[in-house]
Amino acid sequence: MANKIHPTAVVDSKAEIGDGVIVGPHSYIEAGAVIGDNNEIGSSVWISSYSRIGNENRIFHGAAIGGPPQDLKFTGENTTLEIGDRNTIREFVTMNRGTSASGKTVVGSDNLIMSYCHIAHDCRVGSHIVLANSTNMGGHVEIHDWAILGGMVPIHQFCRIGAHAMVGTASRIVKDVPPYLLIGADPTRPVGINVIGLERRGFSGETVRNLKELYKIVYRSRLGLAAALEKVRQVLPPIAEIAAFVEFVESTSRGIIK
């Protein structure tokens, strides 16, 4: 399929553009950018030389893709931003490339990234994630698959959001959010397991019940964290979801939200 590039768009001859790509008015794609097939790029979008974009993404007006890190230690290293397939990237989203610390920023596939979100240098964003408007990440943040973040959520650098977690609007994330949790704001705190989200994803009733028991042990038993995890191992079945929660918590460097 032929590409459709608006006459006012600037696409450098050294950019690699796939088939079926639409580029809107006044967009600028630099030399060295790699863009796959069937992408739709709106008006006034900037895509830097260091961007690697897969197939069937939709990038809306004013997005800035692959810009240099907002990091005073950055000295122009050859780093990248990698984006997968079928993402929706709404108006004025900014995504920065990596630093020498990891070499790249990575965004997976099938994500909805709403207007004014910021994905900073060296972040790792998985797949099937929803980032509502004005969610802003510090460097090195990890968002695991199927997480949902409400609008205006600031995330401190190096924090992790676990798989299938749901974070409420305006929650201030300064520690790791374990998988499967529901996080409320004002004050930011865990309020239970993300039951509705898990049911929508097809988790069995038995699995959800076991995760509820895990939540009670870790967050309501008044045990220390190490003792709570040991009790989880003793009294709950060794299913994959329990193991994933325990592994996530034991690997934290910033501590978990409590």
Asked if 12 is an active-site residue, the reply is: no
User: From its phi and psi, is residue 211 left (phi > 0), alpha (psi between -120 and 50) or beta?
Assistant: alpha
Asked whether the CA dihedral 232, 166, 83, 157 is positive or negative, the reply is negative
Which residue is it, tokens 């974009």? 53
The span from the CA of 94 to the CA of 140, in Å, is 15
Burial of residue 2, with CB atoms counted within 10 A of its CB: 0-12 exposed, 13-18 middle, 19 or more buried: exposed
Asked if 19 is an active-site residue, the reply is: no
Helices 240-250 and 205-220, packing angle to 10 deg: 30
Asked if 139 is an active-site residue, the reply is: yes
Question: Which is catalytic among the residues 118, 121, 140, 144?
Answer: 121
Question: Which is catalytic among the residues 42, 126, 139, 162?
Answer: 139
User: From its phi and psi, is residue 192 left (phi > 0), alpha (psi between -120 and 50) or beta?
Assistant: left
Burial of residue 253, with CB atoms counted within 10 A of its CB: 0-12 exposed, 13-18 middle, 19 or more buried: exposed
Question: Which is catalytic among the residues 36, 122, 138, 150?
Answer: 122
Residue 198's H or E segment, with its range, is helix 195-200
CB distance 109 to 86 below 8 Å: yes
- Which long-range contacts does 139-144 make (Cβ < 8 Å, 24+ apart)? 139/69, 139/71, 139/99, 140/101, 140/102, 144/179
Q: List, by residue number, the catalytic residues.
A: 121-122, 139
